[in-house]
Amino acid sequence: KAGVTQTPRYLIKTRGQQVTLSCSPISGHRSVSWYQQTPGQGLQFLFEYFSETQRNKGNFPGRFSGRQFSNSRSEMNVSTLELGDSALYLCASSATAAYNEQFFGPGTRLTVL
Protein backbone atom coordinates (compact mmCIF):
# COMPACT_ATOMS: atom_id res chain seq x y z
CA LYS A 1 0.00 0.00 0.00
CA ALA A 2 1.45 3.34 -1.02
CA GLY A 3 2.30 5.77 1.73
CA VAL A 4 1.53 9.45 2.11
CA THR A 5 2.92 11.46 -0.77
CA GLN A 6 3.74 15.14 -0.79
CA THR A 7 4.60 17.40 -3.69
CA PRO A 8 6.80 19.16 -4.34
CA ARG A 9 9.58 17.83 -2.15
CA TYR A 10 11.64 21.00 -2.32
CA LEU A 11 10.63 24.56 -3.03
CA ILE A 12 12.43 27.88 -3.08
CA LYS A 13 10.40 31.09 -3.00
CA THR A 14 11.04 34.74 -2.27
CA ARG A 15 9.42 36.92 0.33
CA GLY A 16 5.95 38.11 -0.58
CA GLN A 17 5.19 35.21 -2.89
CA GLN A 18 2.62 32.56 -2.18
CA VAL A 19 2.98 28.79 -2.27
CA THR A 20 0.71 25.75 -2.49
CA LEU A 21 1.74 22.37 -1.13
CA SER A 22 -0.05 19.14 -1.90
CA CYS A 23 -0.62 15.97 0.09
CA SER A 24 -2.13 12.67 -1.01
CA PRO A 25 -3.06 10.46 1.94
CA ILE A 26 -2.86 6.71 2.14
CA SER A 27 -5.70 5.15 0.18
CA GLY A 28 -8.79 4.93 2.37
CA HIS A 29 -7.58 7.49 4.89
CA ARG A 30 -9.93 10.41 5.36
CA SER A 31 -8.11 12.53 7.92
CA VAL A 32 -5.23 14.73 6.83
CA SER A 33 -3.16 16.87 9.19
CA TRP A 34 -0.44 19.39 8.47
CA TYR A 35 2.55 20.25 10.64
CA GLN A 36 5.40 22.73 10.37
CA GLN A 37 8.85 21.72 11.59
CA THR A 38 11.58 24.28 12.25
CA PRO A 39 14.78 24.07 14.30
CA GLY A 40 13.57 26.84 16.60
CA GLN A 41 9.92 25.98 17.17
CA GLY A 42 10.00 22.24 16.62
CA LEU A 43 6.94 20.47 15.30
CA GLN A 44 3.78 22.56 15.34
CA PHE A 45 0.26 21.62 14.33
CA LEU A 46 -1.23 23.68 11.51
CA PHE A 47 -4.65 22.15 10.80
CA GLU A 48 -6.57 18.92 10.34
CA TYR A 49 -9.19 18.03 7.76
CA PHE A 50 -11.71 15.24 7.69
CA SER A 51 -14.23 14.75 4.90
CA GLU A 52 -13.43 18.18 3.47
CA THR A 53 -14.03 19.93 6.80
CA GLN A 54 -11.42 21.62 8.91
CA ARG A 55 -11.85 20.19 12.39
CA ASN A 56 -8.87 21.70 14.18
CA LYS A 57 -6.56 24.62 13.65
CA GLY A 58 -3.28 25.56 15.27
CA ASN A 59 -1.99 28.99 16.24
CA PHE A 60 -0.83 30.24 12.89
CA PRO A 61 -1.72 33.50 11.13
CA GLY A 62 -4.42 33.64 8.51
CA ARG A 63 -1.76 33.54 5.77
CA PHE A 64 -1.77 29.79 6.32
CA SER A 65 -4.81 28.08 4.89
CA GLY A 66 -5.77 24.68 3.65
CA ARG A 67 -8.45 22.61 2.08
CA GLN A 68 -9.35 19.02 1.43
CA PHE A 69 -10.94 17.59 -1.65
CA SER A 70 -13.55 14.87 -1.98
CA ASN A 71 -10.85 12.30 -2.73
CA SER A 72 -9.18 13.23 0.61
CA ARG A 73 -6.22 14.91 -1.07
CA SER A 74 -5.28 18.10 0.71
CA GLU A 75 -3.52 21.31 -0.12
CA MET A 76 -2.11 24.00 2.09
CA ASN A 77 -1.42 27.51 0.97
CA VAL A 78 0.83 30.14 2.45
CA SER A 79 0.38 33.66 1.16
CA THR A 80 2.75 36.61 1.48
CA LEU A 81 5.67 34.44 2.43
CA GLU A 82 8.05 35.56 5.16
CA LEU A 83 11.58 34.39 5.88
CA GLY A 84 10.30 32.67 9.01
CA ASP A 85 8.07 30.41 6.94
CA SER A 86 11.12 28.45 5.84
CA ALA A 87 10.49 25.01 7.25
CA LEU A 88 9.76 21.37 6.59
CA TYR A 89 6.01 20.98 6.08
CA LEU A 90 4.76 17.54 6.97
CA CYS A 91 1.44 16.02 6.09
CA ALA A 92 0.00 13.06 7.99
CA SER A 93 -2.99 10.87 7.31
CA SER A 94 -5.04 8.56 9.46
CA ALA A 95 -7.89 6.20 8.75
CA THR A 96 -10.99 7.75 10.20
CA ALA A 97 -11.68 9.44 13.48
CA ALA A 98 -9.47 10.08 16.48
CA TYR A 99 -7.30 7.49 18.22
CA ASN A 100 -5.89 6.41 14.91
CA GLU A 101 -2.22 6.20 14.16
CA GLN A 102 -0.98 9.03 11.96
CA PHE A 103 1.32 8.22 9.08
CA PHE A 104 3.59 10.99 7.91
CA GLY A 105 4.66 11.86 4.40
CA PRO A 106 8.24 12.74 3.41
CA GLY A 107 7.59 16.45 3.75
CA THR A 108 8.08 19.52 1.60
CA ARG A 109 11.17 21.57 2.36
CA LEU A 110 10.27 25.23 1.77
CA THR A 111 13.01 27.84 1.66
CA VAL A 112 12.03 31.50 1.58
CA LEU A 113 14.72 33.92 0.38
CB of 45 to another protein, least distance (A): 5
66 binds another protein (CB under 8 A): no
Question: Radius of gyration of the chain from Cα atoms?
Answer: 13
35 binds another protein (CB under 8 A): yes
The Cα 51–Cα 61 span in angstroms is: 23
How is 67-90 classified by DSSP, letter by letter? EE-TTS-EEEEE-S--GGG-EEEE
**In the range 3-32, which residues lie near another protein by CB under 8 A?**
31
44 binds another protein (CB under 8 A): yes
Stretch that binds another protein, among 10-18, 21-29, 48-56, 77-85 (CB under 8 A): 48-56
86 binds another protein (CB under 8 A): no
- State the burial class of residue 25 (Cβ atoms within 10 Å of its Cβ: 0-12, 13-18, 19+): buried
**Residue closer to another protein (CB basis): 40 or 62:** 40
Whether 96 and 84 have beta carbons less than 8 Å apart is answered as: no
Sites of contact with another protein (CB under 8 A): 31, 33, 35, 42-45, 48, 50, 55-56, 58, 90, 92, 94, 97-107
